[in-house]
Structure 1
Amino acid sequence: MSFPVLICDDSALARKQIARSLPASLNADITFAVHGLDALKQLELNDFKLMFLDLTMPELDGFGTLEELQRLGNTTPVVVVSGDIQPKAKAKVLALGAKAFIQKPIDKAVLNDVLKELVEPVAQPRIITPTSIDLPILRRRDIYMEVANVSIGRAADALARHFDVFVHLPLPNVNILEVSELHMALRDLADNDQVSGICQGFSGEGIAGEALVLLSDSSVADLKKLMKIPADSEELEELELLMDVSNILVGSFLNGLGEQSEVRFFQSSPVLLGQHISIDSVIASTSGSFNKTMTFEVSYNIDDTSIRCDLLFMFVDESLPLLDNKLAYLMEDF
């Protein structure tokens, strides 16, 4: 007898990883959903014995899906599998009824421990007929989206722990841009005429680029309140705060990327592009640095504040084949 399982994740790579990690002994009959609304529709049509749920998704995220399951009285056991590993995120999903939380990328040993807790063992030996699974077809962009998703989750976790806050995680944007398109993207990032910009170079095994951290003036002011720094404090304290935020975000992101690509990244000291400057000044600082670049971009928002921090990673042209090679294993079946 098969064991019906619903896997809900917008990432084709994550859906494939979870499906491939389920033990054959479970005899899972797998259905996929690409966001929360899709999952709720599947739950209306079918009875599932277990559901795996991502948190950061379009249409309806994992938190909203859990809230809706509670409202509907649906008791399907849910295991959250997410790159958003903040302590407050874990506490929130467990409070909303999730049975367990597994950190991305999924670890088979951890998954098996969770399954032992949630799935009743078979009383007698049985003959298992393998269930056919139509696994997602992966594209290069799918790989980079999921790798970026895990890495931004590491950075959000470090920021959340440092400031004791909850950081909202949107989906990352992954693009290959000409330099003119990069400048357009930077203008879109800055919804405030005045920003503070920090730049940090990074490199590892021939893979190199620059990270850019942008904070609007209003965000800097709110960060100072969060850290209980007097509003009229010296600019040196504000500068230290900016450098601190940049080191936390860039270092944690690179650690997450390095774990997945098996590359040890080194980052240079943060460089202040300017405080209370126009976005055009930031754009001018990137002119001549890139012809074409792959970018990972995300905007972090801190709960109960107006703080928004934009993080942009730009990889130089020559790095892309090397990074492709390092991540090629994710395209393979395992």
Structure 2
Amino acid sequence: MTTSILICDDSALARKQMARALPASLEATVTFAVNGLEALRCLEAQQFNLMFLDLTMPEMDGYQTLEAIQQRGLDIPVIVVSGDIQPQAQARVQALGAKAFLKKPVDKSQLKGHLKAYLATEPPGLDTVIQRVSTPALKRRDIYLEVANVAIGRAADALARHFNVFVNLPLPNVNVFEVSELQMTLRHLASNAQMSGVCQGFSGEGIAGEALVLLSDSSMKDLTAMMNYPVEDEGDCELELLMDVSNLMVGSFLKGLGQQAEVKFLQSHPVLLGQHRPIEEMISLTEGNWRRTMTFEVSYGLEGTQIKCDMLLMFVDESLPLLDNKLSYLMDED
């Protein structure tokens, strides 16, 4: 008997990985949706045995999709598959009716247990047989977007646990920039506000770059107040907080990236670019260091606050062939 599976994820790589993790013994018919709105149209049009759902998507995210499924009374077991591994994220999707939560990249032994629990027939041979579902060819940017998405989830989880907050996970932005375009991006992130920022170098197996972490003055003030730092030590505490945030965000992102690329990254101590300074001054400090770079751009927000923290990870141009090679297994079409 054919099993009908719906996979909803905006990432082409994630859709491919999820489909090919399914056992051939399921004889699964797989349908893809790129966001929640498209998934709901699929659910209204036909019956599915199981749905795999991402959380961070444009148009309609996973939380909104789960709410809509409940509101419309659609009968479908949903397993969330996400890079957002914050404890609150997992609790929220379960409260919205999700049957289970799998973190990206998917662990096949955990997947086997969930398939056994939520499908009528037990799928044998998951460890030895892979379902080869036809998927469109992947582009280089597809790979980096999904790799960044997983790494961003690790950084958000570290922030959430450290500050006991829920971090709104952003959609990643990956680009190859000339230095002039990079400066424009920094100006856009700053929105002409006074900023505090640090830079932090990193390297591993010939892959090197630099991370910039920026907080606006208003975000820094609110974050300091949220942490209940003494007013009389505000200057020193702000600097300590800025360094802590940088170490957390950069370190956890690099760990998530390194796990996927099988690279152990080492990071230098954060270096202060400036406190309460216009972004133009910080840009001037980085001029001459870059010609062309690939960047991961991330803007995190803390739920219930106006706090926003921006991070740019920039890889030197010479590192890109090495990183491409490390991630080439994700392009495998066998």
Same fold by TM-score greater than 0.5:
yes
Q: Secondary structure at the match of 1:16?
A: helix
Q: Which amino acid aligns with 2:272?
A: L
Q: Which residue of 2 aligns with 1:20?
A: 20
Q: Residue 4 of structure 1 contacts residue 30 of structure 1 at CA under 8 Å; is this kept in 2?
A: yes
Shift of 1:281: 1.2
Shift of 1:230: 3.3
Shift of 1:132: 7.8
Q: Secondary structure at the match of 2:63?
A: helix
CA distance in 1, matches of 2:136, 2:89: 28
Q: Which residue of 1 aligns with 2:182?
A: 182
Q: Which residue of 1 aligns with 2:117?
A: 117
TM-score normalised to structure 2 length: 0.96
RMSD: 1.5
CA distance in 2, matches of 1:163, 1:259: 24
Q: How many residue pairs get matched? A: 328
| Structure 1 residue 285 corresponds to structure 2 residue 285 | yes
Q: Which residue of 2 aligns with 1:147?
A: 147
Shift of 1:12: 0.4
Q: Which residue of 2 aligns with 1:95?
A: 95
CA distance in 2, matches of 1:122, 1:227: 49
Q: 1:18-64 deviations in whole A, cap 9, x for unaligned? A: 00000112111100000111101111111101000000001000011
CA distance in 2, matches of 1:175, 1:289: 18
CA distance in 2, matches of 1:101, 1:133: 23
Q: Residue 66 of structure 1 contacts residue 96 of structure 1 at CA under 8 Å; is this kept in 2?
A: yes
Within 5 A, what are the aligned runs for 1:1-334?
1-121=1-121, 133-333=133-333
CA distance in 2, matches of 1:7, 1:154: 22
CA distance in 1, matches of 2:192, 2:99: 42
Q: Cα 1:50–1:193, aligned 2, differ >3 Å: closer, same or farther?
A: same
Shift of 1:131: 8.8
Q: Secondary structure at the match of 2:233?
A: coil
**Runs of 4+ with >6 A deviation:** none
Structure 1: runs of 5 or more not aligned: 124-129
Shift of 1:120: 2.1
Q: Which residue of 1 aligns with 2:127?
A: none
Shift of 1:102: 0.2
Q: Secondary structure at the match of 1:298?
A: strand
CA distance in 2, matches of 1:110, 1:237: 43
Q: Secondary structure at the match of 1:117?
A: helix
Structure 2: runs of 5 or more not aligned: 124-129
CA distance in 2, matches of 1:131, 1:141: 24
Q: Residue 82 of structure 2 contacts residue 104 of structure 2 at CA under 8 Å; is this kept in 1?
A: yes
Identity of paired residues, percent?
66
Q: Residue 23 of structure 2 contacts residue 131 of structure 2 at CA under 8 Å; is this kept in 1?
A: no
Q: Secondary structure at the match of 2:52?
A: strand
Q: Residue 224 of structure 1 contacts residue 230 of structure 1 at CA under 8 Å; is this kept in 2?
A: no
Q: Residue 143 of structure 1 contacts residue 331 of structure 1 at CA under 8 Å; is this kept in 2?
A: yes
Q: Secondary structure at the match of 1:14?
A: helix
Shift of 1:192: 4.5
CA distance in 2, matches of 1:326, 1:98: 34
Q: Which amino acid aligns with 2:240?
A: E
Q: Residue 151 of structure 2 contacts residue 252 of structure 2 at CA under 8 Å; is this kept in 1?
A: yes
Q: Which residue of 2 aligns with 1:127?
A: none
Q: Secondary structure at the match of 1:233?
A: helix
CA distance in 1, matches of 2:183, 2:122: 59
CA distance in 2, matches of 1:53, 1:282: 40
